Chains A and B, each alone.
Chain A
Amino acid sequence: AQTVTQSQPEMSVQEAETVTLSCTYDTSESDYYLFWYKQPPSRQMILVIRQEAYKQQNATENRFSVNFQKAAKSFSLKISDSQLGDAAMYFCAYGGSNYKLTFGKGTLLTVNP
């Protein structure tokens, strides 16, 4: 079975600075996707970024980028120029051959003005 580990229950960052959220996973599959979702207090899970395992190039979406290390099974999220609206719970998720997503426990990000 796949597992996803987020080792940082909470992180904080100053507005306009950069923060990196960590995620590691375990799988025996070769074809899979990895996702970062953001969940603000409104509870809506919002897709931040996704990475296909077969792609070597790290995914980027505006201020959000990932560092995908397939051999190390590591998938960290970097948020640049942090904004107050980035404050939320961030979940790393694994999607493989079965239907479900497997989520980490989440990292609560606080952005300080």
Chain B
Amino acid sequence: GAGVSQSPSNKVTEKGKDVELRCDPISGHTALYWYRQSLGQGLEFLIYFQGNSAPDKSGLPSDRFSAERTGGSVSTLTIQRTQQEDSAVYLCASSLFGRGGTETQYFGPGTRLLVL
């Protein structure tokens, strides 16, 4: 497809369950980013992947959060033992060269996660 795609669009889960969120970046983009958008905190950076380099995980809020990127393309964000405060919209973005903030990031439609 032409844009960043994310699945599922919406996810409802029970507290304590694990969830996986998927992101498919724009074809040919080398960099991939995850952000979290919540009412109280606004948009927060979570993690950044660039090519085969080690990811920047500095934004992950706890060790319950992890992410991987397979084959330099699709990424999965996993949240273990979900808590109610994990409820948010999780946004994925990609960029062509991975120059980070000085390059336009293109966003997907997000996954809305609700933890009951």
Instruction: Give A contacts to B, CB under 8 Å.
Output: 31-33, 35, 37, 42-47, 50, 52, 91, 94-106
5 A-B pairs with least C-beta separation = A95-B101, A100-B45, A99-B100, A45-B107, A103-B43
**Would A43 and B89 count as touching, CB distance under 8 A?**
yes
Residues from chain B with a CB closer than 8 A to the CB of A52 are: 102
B108 CB–A CB distance under 8 Å: yes
For A52, the closest partner residue in chain B by CB is: B102
Shortest A21–chain B CB gap in Å is 16
B87 CB–A CB distance under 8 Å: no
Within 8 A of A (CB), among B28-68: 31, 33, 35, 42-43, 45, 48, 50, 56, 59
For A6, the closest partner residue in chain B by CB is: B42
With A43-B109, A45-B107 given, is the CB distance from A99 to B48 under 8 Å? yes
Chain B: number of interface residues, binned into ranges: 20 to 34
With A43-B89, A103-B42, A105-B42 given, is the CB distance from A97 to B100 under 8 Å? yes
Instruction: Give B contacts to A, CB under 8 Å.
Output: 31, 33, 35, 42-43, 45, 48, 50, 56, 59, 89, 91, 93, 98, 100-110, 112
Residues from chain B with a CB closer than 8 A to the CB of A99 are: 31, 33, 45, 48, 50, 56, 98, 100-101
**Would A94 and B101 count as touching, CB distance under 8 A?**
yes
**Would A43 and B45 count as touching, CB distance under 8 A?**
no
Question: With A43-B91, A44-B110, A102-B101 given, can you name 18 additional A-B contacts, CB distance below 8 Å?
Answer: A31-B102, A43-B89, A43-B110, A43-B112, A45-B91, A95-B100, A97-B100, A98-B100, A98-B101, A99-B45, A99-B56, A99-B98, A99-B100, A99-B101, A100-B45, A101-B33, A101-B101, A106-B42
**Would B101 and A96 count as touching, CB distance under 8 A?**
yes
